[in-house]
Amino acid sequence: MTKPLVTLTIGQSPRSDILPLLRQHLPDALTDHAGLLDGLSAAEIAARFAPAAGDRVLVSRLQSGEQVRLAASKVEQGLQRKISALEQAGYATILLLCTGEFSRLRTQRALLLEPDRLIPPLICAMVQQQRVGIVVPVEEQIVEQAGKWQQLPAQPCFAVASPYQGDQATFADAANQSESAGRSAGGARLYGLSPAASDRVTAAAGRTGSAL
């Protein structure tokens, strides 16, 4: 019998880095997990999804823990095929585990939950006059993210630290940038990190932050 909910990552499933968090709220008895890159070798991933010069870049995680860079346009096409297959399999709700911006994903009957449509309005409502610190995994995403957060009361501070590759020094640098943004407006919030990665950033900053 098909479970009512399936999570869909643009990498490989299950996402062991965020699975403990998911299980706190989504029982295994009700949830399955799928990935765009499931069953693909490194060579197949590169052939199908590698970004070319000028492509918008997304980043995800393989089962090995390795970070992989993907062309956003190719990811969106692949996600649509995967979503259609999951819907055909009978899943009523599909939770996308990616904060990338996708404008053409569609379902026939299933409810598709896209973080990019849910999280920015929520953060804008939460922060009041605080300045937001946004941590992205690769520098190429800063321009895209800047356009996404124009409704914030203050321009956000961006830092680069990959949750898949960053060492303590990298996270300390990200924490210092977010901390600098927070001093002027009462605090900074961290967007787009797993709980473990967020813990490293906030520990490096020596304060408590919010990961979303």
Domain boundaries, the chain: 5-113, 118-205
pLDDT at residue 20, rounded to an integer: 87
pLDDT at residue 145, rounded to an integer: 81
3-state secondary structure labels for all residues of 133-147: EEEECCCCHHHHHHH
pLDDT at residue 114, rounded to an integer: 96
CA dihedral 62, 203, 179, 198 (to 10 degrees): 30
Count Cβ atoms below 10 Å from residue 200 Cβ, excluding itself: 22
pLDDT at residue 185, rounded to an integer: 40
pLDDT at residue 211, rounded to an integer: 45
pLDDT at residue 11, rounded to an integer: 96
pLDDT at residue 95, rounded to an integer: 97
Give the model confidence (pLDDT) of 182-204 as tens digits: 544 434 444 555 666 666 666 65
Query: Which residues in the chain come in under a pLDDT of 70?
Result: 165-212
pLDDT at residue 200, rounded to an integer: 61
- Is residue 12 packed enough to be buried (19+ CB in 10 Å), middle (13-18) or exposed (0-12)? buried
pLDDT at residue 199, rounded to an integer: 65
Alpha helices per DSSP H over the chain: 19-25, 42-49, 72-88, 115-126, 141-148, 168-183, 195-205
d(CA 211, CA 205): 13
Contact 55, 71 (CB under 8 A): yes
CB crowding 96-115: b at 16 or more within 10 Å, else e: bbbbbbbeeeebeebebebb
